[in-house]
């Protein structure tokens, strides 16, 4: 059984060309950045879900632990 490709080969070729990837080292840096961004988004989504509101969303925040400006 043939494994289904997540990204079509032609799209990968186009991506490589557009990002001027010439060596494996070039791709390594790009993948590292992509992975870091993905993990960051996942962690933020998990935190939003856990707290019950999104970052900087004071209207849906149900806590009395707020900074009062004088």
Which tens digits make up the pLDDT trace of 32-44?
A: 988 999 999 999 9
Which tens digits make up the pLDDT trace of 18-69?
A: 999 999 999 898 889 889 999 999 999 998 888 777 776 666 666 666 665 6
pTM above 0.95, yes or no: no
Domain boundaries, the chain: 23-52
Contacts of 52 by beta carbon, 8 Å cutoff, 6+ apart: 60, 62
Q: How far is CA 5 from CA 17, 31, 34, 41, in A?
A: 19, 18, 19, 24
Contacts of 47 by beta carbon, 8 Å cutoff, 6+ apart: 55
């Amino acid at each position: 059984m043939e494994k289904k490709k997540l990204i079509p080969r032609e799209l990968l070729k186009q991506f490589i060309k557009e990002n001027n990837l010439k060596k494996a080292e070039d791709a390594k840096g790009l993948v590292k950045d992509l992975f870091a961004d993905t993990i960051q988004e996942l962690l933020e989504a998990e935190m939003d879900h856990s707290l019950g509101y999104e970052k900087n969303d004071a209207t849906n925040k149900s806590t009395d632990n707020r900074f009062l400006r004088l």
